[in-house]
Amino acid sequence: MVEFIIAVKSIRNIRNKFVFQKAGIMNHKNRPIGIFDLTSQCLLRCRHCYYYTDVSQLPSDLNDNIFLKRLKQKKEEYGIRSAFWVGGEPLLRLNLLRRAMTLFPRNAIATSGALPIPSDLDAGLLLSIDGPKDVHDSLRGEGCFDIAMQHIKNLPRGSFALATTLTSFSVEYIEKLPELVNSTRALGILIGFHVGRLGDPSLLDDDRRHKAVDQLLLIHQNHPGVLLHSRKALELFRPCNSHKVSKKCIYRDRAVAFDVRFEEKTPCTFATNAACDACGCPVVIAHAAWRDHDPESEALLHVLFPKREFSIATGQFNEVSQTPSASL
């Protein structure tokens, strides 16, 4: 049975790569955004996490020096200017993360909040929070909510955003989102919908997803600033708009994703768990809205990827600019 599952995943990966090549998506040059798995290790095993659906196929981490050498090679090969650090838990390799971020003018980090979060990372910071305490802990483990809240309490107000992935387990708590933001010092909430394979119990069916978008639009109207996506972007989460999102997907011509050994992940960072016909990725949605001439989504992308200034003295990007005007 295990061999059959691996074979199916391999066939799906080959199919996805072929489809993207036919669409002209696999152009290796001029991909300004790189999504990097910094590590395959994590302290948690969240019920809805795409990364650990098959732990038998997780590649082992590279040592710091080899990682940085290959990172520099990929940066030059693809023309990457903005880096999104994911995993696993990126903060498990904090020293490597700090060194890697100096190579790029723009950085963003996704974290579970299971580890202390330094206040001087100079990057967009996304903290995964799935809902109120009981909901969050049911998906991530007992005590995880309180630990995350402890680790963000001393961060400057507005220096991080909450990243909430709506699943079949959490969608009924949408009305609690304003309270969640108000109880923290977060800039707001970046909404996403769970991405997974057919039959995944965390997935929302089309009807529930439509209703969830309706609720999100009401929150956007009645609680300004809670949701970071624009109304235009929220509408793109509807299943009937998936074809629009797919046509403007950031991975078609602007982004490239790598695993911890710098093997390219196709069609996106979700790899074989990708569901392009029902995309729920918040960054993909924001970028699609931006490409549809939405200035709010453009501003959001600049907030998520704050710009560092280049220091001639150090030869590195080492300070955050307060004016998000340069292009991603």
Q: Tens digits of per-residue pLDDT, 158-203? A: 999 999 999 998 999 999 999 999 999 899 999 999 887 777 788 8
Give the contacts of 327 (CB within 8 A, at least 6 positions apart): none
Residue closest to 314 by CA, chosen among 99, 67, 95: 99
Separation of alpha carbons 162 and 185, rounded Å: 10
- Encoding tokens for residue 157? 């107000």
pLDDT value of residue 55: 55
Give the contacts of 158 (CB within 8 A, at least 6 positions apart): 185, 186, 187
- Judge contact between 288 and 244, C-beta under 8 A: yes
pLDDT value of residue 48: 75
For the cut 50, the answer to whether the pLDDT of residue 262 exceeds it is: yes
pLDDT value of residue 5: 39
pLDDT value of residue 19: 42
> Which DSSP category does 268 fall into?
S
**Average pLDDT of 271-286?**
88
pLDDT value of residue 46: 78
> Which DSSP category does 240 fall into?
G
At residue 44 the predicted structure's pLDDT band, cuts being 50, 70 and 90, is confident
Q: Which residue has the higher pLDDT, 101 or 309?
A: 101
pTM exceeds cut of 0.95: no
pLDDT value of residue 7: 46
Q: Which residue has the higher pLDDT, 9 or 269?
A: 269
- Judge contact between 82 and 32, C-beta under 8 A: yes
Say if residue 61 is exposed, middle or buried (CB neighbours under 10 Å; 0-12, 13-18, 19+).
buried
At residue 116 the predicted structure's pLDDT band, cuts being 50, 70 and 90, is very high
**CATH code of the domain occupying 32-320:** 3.20.20
At residue 277 the predicted structure's pLDDT band, cuts being 50, 70 and 90, is confident
Any idea which of 16-25, 56-65, 224-233 has the lowest mean pLDDT?
Answer: 16-25
Angle between helix 144-152 and helix 133-140 axes, rounded to 10 deg: 110
Separation of alpha carbons 93 and 125, rounded Å: 16
Q: What is the pLDDT of residues 224-253, one digit of tens each?
A: 999 999 999 999 999 999 888 988 999 988
